[in-house]
Structure 1
Amino acid sequence: MKQERQQKSFVTSYAEHIKTLQARTLEAIQRESIDGIIIHSGQAKHQFLDDNHYPFKVNPQFKAWLPVIDNPNCWLIVDGINKPKLIFYRPVDFWHWVPEEPSDFWAEHFDIILLKQANRVEKHLPYDRSKYAYIGEYIEVAKALGFDLVNPDRVLHYLHYHRAYKTDYELDCMRQANAIAARAHFAAKEAFYARASEFEINQAYLLAAKQGDNDMPYNNIVALNKHTSILHYMRVDTSAPSKHLSFLIDAGASFHGYAADITRTYAYEQGEFAELIQQVDALTLKCVDALKPNVSYVDVHRTAYAGVAEILTHAGILNMHPEDAVDAKIVSTFFPHGTGHFLGLQVHDVGGHVNDDRGTPLPAPEDHPFLRCTRTVEPRQIFTIEPGLYFIDSLLAELKSSEHSKYVNWDVVDKLRPYGGIRIEDDVIVHKDRNENMTRDLGV
């Protein structure tokens, strides 16, 4: 019954989603004075000197229109007025999986042509392609097919900017992705306290999510002990450490091509590190509350940065006033990344550094160069909020050799080094009058 209600909801919200994309497309092509855009799903890539393919990743502009994420050699022809035309690749092939003829809830919104041979697509494309823009990564394919206009800036700037505003269909997809990731996070937490290895924890996560490595929106970060200080730790040790101290998992899930992105950190035993986790967790919630319409996301980051300074001084890691730590930029040693980013069709979704839909740059400030978003917060946008606190050897060595070394209690730092680091990340929908913390609503 629940699945039936969900399906009916998708049918209604998806129809409105298509209307929104049509309107955006019409505005984008009118700005470029062209007749339409042709979106390529992508194609399989051979591994170097091999006859196997890399895992296929669909063009995000393609999956914005329909939840087909695993089929290369498909094409969309859209003009904002006429019913979109889908050229759907369905070869005769006994070596590989062949998708079924489309019949899901989204199929009725497209005029569908089945394509048996990828290199025969030309006859299904508009004859005069000079007034159509190719959107995709295969420039050589576009040129071979006679496209003169490839990924035009004005079109992409407009589409990327407005992708920040999610339709009801997209919000539903994001909630579903979070629900999948949430149950997987519970399984990973249980595996950690059972003293599993990183490999075993990752397997527990994937099993609970019922998604494989290639289905994940990004490579899971599953880190124990000191590995938690590596921001993008992409390994998984098969052997468990002799002692479990800490566990950081940054892992999401996909639903209809939309991503969840959740991070949690755990201490195996109570103590100073566990207390730090609680304080970072509280800071995450404080930053979520700071997300409000008409607030600059840069200001949200400054809230996080000042919050980490307070934690560092309260814990006795720094022996200076929090405001002085901010001014001296010592906090960056322990919190070297931004507070979060847009989330949607991509984990680090596009459009975070522009001021308008014409692509006017809005770069990160000089004192916080790693920010992935500088936009003004508005309703229907989805952000991650993920402050962190880490003990990273290379950054600590740099700090120790600087004039600010005297403000650091190195005995405390050395005691905490083996625990690695902390990051707590929630996925948040901004509404006009409230925030919807999808992650916390699921009890994670």
Structure 2
Amino acid sequence: MTENLAPLYTQHLAALRERADKALAAGGFDRLLIAAGRPLNKFLDDQDFPFVSNPHFRHWLPLTDAPGSWIVYAPGARPRLVFVQPRDYWHVVPAAPSGDWVEHFDIQVVRSAADAIAALPKDGRNAVIGPACPSIEGVEANNPQPVMDYLHWHRSYKTAYELALMREANRIGTRAHRAAEAAFRSGESEFGIHMAYLAAARQIDAELPYASIVGLNEHGAVLHYSHFDRQPPTAHRSFLIDAGASHAGYASDITRSYAATGADEFQALIESMDGAQRELASKVRAGQSYPELHIHAHHLVAGVLREHGIIRMGAEAAVAGGVTSAFFPHGLGHPIGLAVHDVAGFQESERGGSIPRPEGHPYLRMTRVLEPGMVVTIEPGLYFVDMLLEELRANPAAKDVDWARVDALRPYGGIRIEDDVVCTEGEPENLTRDAFAIL
């Protein structure tokens, strides 16, 4: 990383303390207790699922492996970290906290999760943020709504420190995407491509922010394709990869689509969708309604479908008649940050409330107006999904679909192109395109 994180973290922590003060006042609480969380047990087993810490904990600290630990914060006092460093010869013990951030915390090291609970203050009114299951006697995770609403609303606005971490998450992800494309070009299986991705990212599956989607040929039409064929297909026609990376608890979410050499028609379709995606990303600006941008995406997809002879109707008719929804059945994107699908995408204000999705678009994951500091994904798609195409055949508009063209393109699955884009005071910052430009 090129950014100097120490001063950025100092500013970030000051912003979090100010937000916490106001959130506690809104709920009438004295103190904030934030649990890192504990690994969840596998049913009827003596093993745990991979540990994923509470995003509220990661918001304060760049610690992703501190199970059982807690942050204690009261207005006007230095934040305190109760850090669990167990005596354990079965597992790797978390290293002692280190880095520039430690100077801002009082750190108490304890030997067990029970010791951490015992070290927490029990007096006054504590706002406890953490998973409710399993609950902890004496410190139940109550996640009070006024506090959560305030914190989630303001988590939408990334600090300079957070943006620096997200730039690095995008650089890691794009490096791995380059390796995945090379593996596709060399004829690897989906499993082989995924292994190449992990090796280039230098992260294991459990460290990625979400399960990678690696789909060859028709598998690109399965929106959340989670299977990895171990054997290469007879022919490599196309490749869709939706995969991200993590850095200090922050996520990137990147999707790219490729055509095999000689698949000129599908390559031309990818290039048209890439142009549409770039136009949409350029509109991530203050004051832009995200739902309206999503509707605009449908109009652009309609233009691509018409340009390539897949439909014969105009964009307005294709959108109004539900034709574009058969080819583009998901939302334009979502907020991203500490979580891949980050919080407050529908929130009406810092006091809560919800902004409904536009009618006919049930899978849109954000309905807010864009403001500086927000980071969103822009991921239009165009797919040939058998189930949806069969439903489209029953639509009166089916007469304006060139079904021979559709059948010719079905073996290629689909296209999705996704970038992580920052809304600023002026031109948007495309974290993903910037990373691809230097790698």
Q: Which TM-score tier does this pair reach, normalised by the shorter chain? A: over 0.9
- 1:92 is aligned to 87
Q: Give the Cα–Cα distance (whole angstroms) in 2 for the partners of residues 177 and 418 of structure 1.
A: 33
User: Which residue pairs with 2:283 in the alignment?
Assistant: 290
Deviation at 1:380, TM superposition (A): 1.1
Q: Is the 8 A contact 2:24 2:31 kept in 1?
A: yes
Aligned partners of 1:429, 1:249: CA distance in 2, in Å? 22
Q: Which residue of 1 aligns with 2:152?
A: 160
Structure 1 unaligned runs (5+)?
A: none
Distance in structure 2 (CA, Å) of the matches to 1:426 and 1:146: 40
Cα deviation code 1:334-360 (max 9, x no counterpart): 000111111100001100001211112
Following the alignment from structure 2 to structure 1, what is the Cα–Cα distance between the partners of residues 191 and 301?
A: 31
Instruction: Give the match for residue 220 of structure 1.
Output: 212
Counterparts of 1:81 and 1:246, CA distance in 2: 57
**1:302 Cα deviation after fit:** 1.4
Contact 1:354/1:363, CA 8 A, preserved across alignment: no
1:83 partner amino acid? R
Does the 8 A contact of 1:38 with 1:77 survive in 2?
yes
Deviations 1:182-229 (A, max 9, x none): 111110111100011001111111111111111100001111000000
CA contact (8 A) 2:173 2:201 kept: yes
8 Å contact kept, 2:83–2:116 = no
**Superposition pairs for residues 21-420 of structure 1, below 5 Å?**
21-128=16-123, 131-142=125-136, 144-147=137-140, 150-269=142-261, 270-420=263-413
Cα distance in structure 1, aligned partners of 2:75 and 2:209: 29
Matched residues in 2 for 1:140 and 1:343: separation? 27
Shift of 1:146: 4.7
**Distance (whole Å) between structure 1 residues aligned to residue 339 and residue 423 of structure 2:** 18
Query: Runs in 1 of length 4+ with deviation above 6 angstroms?
Result: none
CA distance in 2, matches of 1:19, 1:322: 48
Q: Which moved more, 1:133-142 or 1:186-195?
A: 133-142
Aligned amino acid, residue 214 of structure 2:
V
Identity of aligned residues (%): 45
The C-alpha deviation readout for 1:105-154, integer Å capped at 9, x for no partner, is 221111111120212233211132x5001111135524x1154x701111
Per-residue deviation, residues 53-75 of structure 1 (Å, max 9, x unmatched): 11111111110000111221011
C-alpha distance in structure 1 between counterparts of 2:131 and 2:176, whole Å: 33
- Which range moves more in the overlay, 204-213 or 100-109? 100-109
Does structure 1 retain, via aligned residues, the 8 Å contact 2:284–2:422? Answer: no
Distance 1:179 1:210 in 2: 12
For the residue of structure 1 that corresponds to 2:352, the secondary structure is: coil
Question: How does the TM-score come out when normalised to structure 1?
Answer: 0.96
Distance 1:240 1:123 in 2: 55
Q: Matched residues in 2 for 1:361 and 1:81: separation?
A: 32
What is the one-letter code of the residue matched to 2:367?
A: T
Cα distance in structure 2, aligned partners of 1:443 and 1:124: 47
Q: CA deviation at 1:440?
A: 1.1
* TM-score w.r.t. length of structure 2: 0.97
Q: Distance in 1 between matches of 2:58 and 2:321?
A: 44
Give, in whole Å, the separation in 1 of the partners of 2:102 and 2:128: 23
Distance 2:393 2:107 in 1: 63
Contact 1:21/1:80 (8 A) holds in 2? no
More deviation, 283-292/22-31: 283-292
Q: Secondary structure at the match of 2:170?
A: helix
Name the SS of the counterpart of 1:317 in structure 2: coil
Say yes or no: does 1:440 pair with 2:436.
no
* SS in structure 1 of the partner of residue 41 of structure 2: coil
Q: Distance in 2 between matches of 1:80 and 1:173?
A: 27
1:214 aligned partner, one-letter code: A
Any conservation in 1 of the 2:128–2:139 contact (CA below 8 Å)? no
Q: CA deviation at 1:316?
A: 1.2
Letter in 2 for 1:399: L
In structure 1, what is the Cα distance between the partners aligned to 2:169 and 2:436? 15
Contact 2:171 2:436 in 1 (8 A): no
Preserved CA contact (<8 Å) 1:198 1:224: yes
Q: Is the 8 A contact 2:84 2:116 kept in 1?
A: no
- What is the alpha-carbon root mean square deviation over aligned residues? 1.3
Question: Does the aligned pair in 2 maintain the 1:42–1:138 contact within 8 Å?
Answer: no
Q: When the two structures are aligned, how many residues end up with a matched partner?
A: 436
Where do 5+ consecutive residues of structure 2 fail to align?
none
Bigger CA drift: 17-26 or 99-108?
99-108
